[in-house]
Chains A and B, each alone.
Chain A
């Protein structure tokens, strides 16, 4: 030890009661602790958010609440140090520094947290994982390497839940989160899947109806898109999807479903001391057009709205979805009900073996702590046919993104429940 005297002083310092209780910095030692925090700004590489005004999703809800709680109280430098450490963990940042600026009114200060990201990061995630006793396993794993504003993702997926088909294969994605400005992102998706089909679907599609394609054994998708952050909670994505698929019938030429794709998303969070509310709304349009060399001309529109109200351990969630598909579209564009998110409890192969071109669905979830009950209703049908409305109820346990549930279709006769278990649904 080169400087033993320094060790003595440091020991002496950290062992004093004030420092033991106040973290890194005793408020009494900093002359600025007499000032009131006017606002808190968190800024990263090319972005910033004012906690007094913005409610964006960059910072987790719990941490955001704690940072927001600084506003209006006397400055406590030790708390700033602790929050900087937590921000650093949450953003996996290289460093988080904080500084004070004069407020707009005398005796007030603005706190600025500056996040310095690591030049390169590597993450592995499981964006979805599900077991349903009727559909089997669904899972995806992705690894993302981020270099500055560029994220490169590769992953594997096997999904028997989303669509009428089970698609298994790999995905790759490139995303630039700052195309000149942090309000413009560039994204490029590539998917390569092989398909498996349920017996009921095969039977129903023995003679494909006019409004959709036949069964295919593989498909490949290239999808470039530009995302515009129109306003903090509102984003618009515009791009194109070039999807080709090989039908199972030998000698059939490769089909193409090339479409213009766009999506508008709105997210808003409102918080006060007792209640937290969230609104998520989206509208998407996929328009297959022969201008892009597509064999299918169609327009697929989908609208979704979700409202979440949280009060202590109580969480109430209401979600509405509606979809309209016109023209002749391939099977993967058709709507599906009776899976893990829409009309839970029903068997999708029993009610719509190859989906429908219309959907209306509603879902109400109530949670208290880890306990959950839900009620789903909705219909998936084809234009010109009857739209049977189906209902289901379920109970379960949910902790963070993990859930375990059993759902019952409400119908006469025997009710075969569906068991669901997974995460990120």
Chain B
């Protein structure tokens, strides 16, 4: 994973990360939408002290006629269609960002990207007539990931803002 800085936010690229694969890809090709939950974390030291988190939700679907992917970022405020799997993965990562506000240019920091699928069934089990199911939440977060549904985690660091490639401002900023 490599990082870049646009003057406000940090962005990541990870050409080797292919999360549109395995069980998620099967579900997509069956016509279902798959939601991925991401988290970018800045650590102030060697993965010990959390400086900042940024979360995002990415919903991917696969057009059964065009055989292309479509991605909706967050609550449908940004979307893109007709992408190949690789292009969709790149667009997703390109639109993840975390604010570097308050981070001094020469201070070393570490960056972690985590990505995980959110099973629609899990979302449904959380919501019932009486409201949110706490037992459902406990069950989801206690569950070991199934085959092909593993969380992805990438790390980079130590990094310094002054040493990162500069890019034009883009993407969303969270955190």
Contacts and interface: CB of A to CB of B under 8 A. Distances in A.
Contacts of A14: 123, 126-127, 132
A20 B124 CA distance: 10
B35 interface: yes
A32 B64 contact: yes
B32 A77 contact: yes
B88 to A, nearest CB: 11
A3 interface: yes
A102 to B, nearest CB: 6
Given A3-B116, A23-B124, A31 B61 contact: yes
B30 to A, nearest CB: 3
A101 B64 contact: yes
B57 A7 contact: no
A106 B13 CA distance: 37
Interface in A1-53: 1-3, 5-14, 16, 18-20, 23-26, 28-32, 35
B70 A6 contact: no
Contacts of B118: 6, 9-10, 13
Interface stretch (A92-100, A170-178, A196-204, A294-302): A92-100
Contact of A12 (B33, B57, B114, B121): B57
Interface string B106-149: 00000000101010111110110000100001101110000000
Interface in B39-84: 39, 53, 55, 57, 59, 61-65, 70, 72, 75-76, 81
A26 to B, nearest CB: 8
Given A30-B61, A31-B81, A5 B55 contact: yes
Interface residues of A, number: 38
B3 interface: no
B140 A5 contact: no
Contact of A10 (B37, B39, B53, B63): B37
A2 B30 CA distance: 31
Given A14-B132, A99-B31, A6 B37 contact: yes
B116 to A, nearest CB: 6
A265 interface: no
Interface string A213-244: 00000000000000000000000000000000
Nearest to A8: B55
Given A6-B39, A18-B76, A19-B127, 19 more contacts: A1-B137, A1-B141, A2-B141, A3-B141, A6-B118, A9-B118, A10-B37, A10-B126, A14-B126, A29-B76, A30-B32, A32-B62, A32-B64, A81-B120, A98-B32, A99-B31, A100-B31, A107-B65, A109-B65
Interface of B: 30-33, 35, 37, 39, 53, 55, 57, 59, 61-65, 70, 72, 75-76, 81, 114, 116, 118, 120-124, 126-127, 132, 137-138, 140-142
27 contacts: A1-B137, A1-B138, A1-B141, A5-B39, A9-B39, A9-B55, A9-B118, A10-B140, A12-B57, A13-B57, A14-B127, A16-B75, A24-B123, A25-B120, A30-B33, A30-B61, A31-B61, A31-B62, A32-B62, A35-B64, A98-B32, A99-B30, A99-B32, A100-B30, A100-B64, A102-B64, A107-B65
Interface of A: 1-3, 5-14, 16, 18-20, 23-26, 28-32, 35, 77, 81, 97-102, 106-107, 109
